[in-house]
Amino acid sequence: MTTTSWFVLIGCLMLARGLAATTIARLPFTSAIVYLCVGLALGPAALRVFRFDPIAQSQLLETLTEIAVLVSLFSAGVKMPVPITYARWAPPVRLAWVSMALTVALMAAFACFILGLPLGAGVLLGAILAPTDPVLATDVQVRHADDRDQLRFALTSEAGMNDGSAFPFVMLGLGLLGVHELGEFGWRWMLFDVAWATLGAVALGVAAGAGLGRLGWMLRNQDPKHEVLDDLVGLGLIAVVYGLCVWLKTWGFLAVFFAGVALRHTELLLSGAHKDRHGLLVVDDTTSKAADAEPMTVSAESLVFKEHLERLSELTLVLLLGGMVSVHDWNWRTVSTALFLFVVARPLSVLIGLGGSRASARLRMIAGWFGLRGIGSVYYLMYAINHGLPRSLVREMIQLTIVAVMLSIVVHGTSVKPLLDRFWRRGRTS
C-alpha cells in the first residue's frame, strides 16, 4: 500500500469510528474487533492488500507501541481514586506482582514441556503474554477520575503496574538465552533488574508527579493568574519521566503510571479536598483557594487529549496486527498457547494471587477471565527482538504472541460487555 492509500484507509476508519460512536457503544463487542477484522480482511490472511512485516519493521513497531503504552499508562494513573490506602490497593498490587509472576511461571512451564522451547524462551514468552493491556481494555477500566467501581479499579491499576513488573522477567528470559547479563546465581538480575529498577521507578514517578502537581498549583494561584497548557505539561511529564528512567536504567512504564497517580493525588490535596464517607477525596467548594481555581487541572484537563491519542493508537496498531499474520500462523501450537493462557494460567494465578484477600469471589472470577492481552505484549516482543533474541526463535515467538493477542481481542472483546452486564452490575445491586 502507498502512503496515500494508508491516509485514506486510516481516515475512513477514523470517520466511521467518530460518526458511529453511539452505535458502536451499543454493540456487544469492542471497537478493537472492528479494526482487527478490517486488518485481517486486507492483510495476507485474506485479500492481501497490505502486509506488515514485524521483523523488518521491529524498530518502528517498538516505538509506536512504546508511545501508545506510555500515554495509556499515564491516563490510567490520573484516573486512580485517592487517597491511596492499603485496603483499596492491596488486590491490584497482588495481581500486578504475585499473579503476574505466577502467570509467567505457568506459561514458561507450558512452553518448555508442551511446545519444547528452551527455558529462556519459555520465561520470555510468559513475560510477553502475562501483562494485561492498558491500551485496549477500556471497557473494563476506570472511566473517569471519580469512578468508584471496585472491579474497574483493580483491573486498571493492575494494568498500570504489571507493564512495569513484567520487565524483570523479560530480562530474565533474555539472560537465560545468553543475551543479557544476569550475574552469578542471578545476583545482578535481582539487585538491578528487580530491586533497583522497580523501586527507583516508583520513587522517581511519585516525586515527579507530586513535584509537578505542586508547581502547577503554585503557578495557577499567582496574582495575576498564570495560565498553564495542560496537554503539553502532561505530555512533557511523560517524556521527562520516561527519559530519566531509561537513563537511570529503571522501568519507565512503572514510573509514568505512578507519576500520573501522584499528580492527581497532589492536586486534590492542594485543592482543599477532604475525605467523604467512602474514603475518596472530593473537592471542598467552601475552600477559599478552590473557589477561584479548578482542582485537578493538569491531570483532568490533559486527560481528554490523552484519550484521543489512545483511540488513534488503538485503531492504527490493531489494524497493523491484521497485516502481520497469515493462515499458516494459526496452528495447534499458537492456538493452544492462547487457550492455556486464557483458561488455565490467568484464572489460576488470579485465584492464588488474591487468596486470603478481601476481594469477593465475584471479583476474583471476573478478574481471572478479563486479562486482555494487546499492545503491551507486542511492545515486549519487539523489545526482545531488538535486544538480541536469537533469530531461530524470532518467527515462532511472533506467531505465538500475535495469535494470542488476536484471540484475546476477539474472545475478551465479545464477552466483556455481556458478562459485566449479567454478573458484575447485577451482583453489585443485589
Phi, psi of 275 (to 5 degrees): -80, 135
Q: Which of 93-97, 143-147, 156-160, 207-211 has the lowest mean pLDDT?
A: 143-147
- Per-residue pLDDT, 425: 60
pLDDT tens string 6-58? 889 889 988 988 888 788 777 777 888 889 999 999 999 888 888 999 999 99
Say if CB 318 and CB 138 are below 8 A apart.
no
pLDDT tens string 352-396? 999 887 778 888 888 898 888 889 999 999 999 999 999 999 999
CA angle 128, 134, 139 (to 5 degrees): 125
Question: What's the total number of domains in the chain?
Answer: 1
Give the contacts of 6 (CB within 8 A, at least 6 positions apart): none
What predicted TM-score, i.e. pTM, was given to this entire model? 0.89
- Per-residue pLDDT, 48: 87
CA angle 376, 179, 128 (to 5 degrees): 20
- Per-residue pLDDT, 424: 62
> Which position has the higher pLDDT, 309 or 119?
119
Residue 380 belongs to a domain with what CATH number?
Answer: 1.20.1530.20
- Per-residue pLDDT, 186: 92
Domain that holds residue 125: 3-429
pLDDT tens string 215-261? 988 887 777 777 777 888 889 999 999 999 999 999 999 999 999 99
- Per-residue pLDDT, 188: 95
Give the confidence band of 281 by pLDDT, cuts at 50, 70, 90: very low
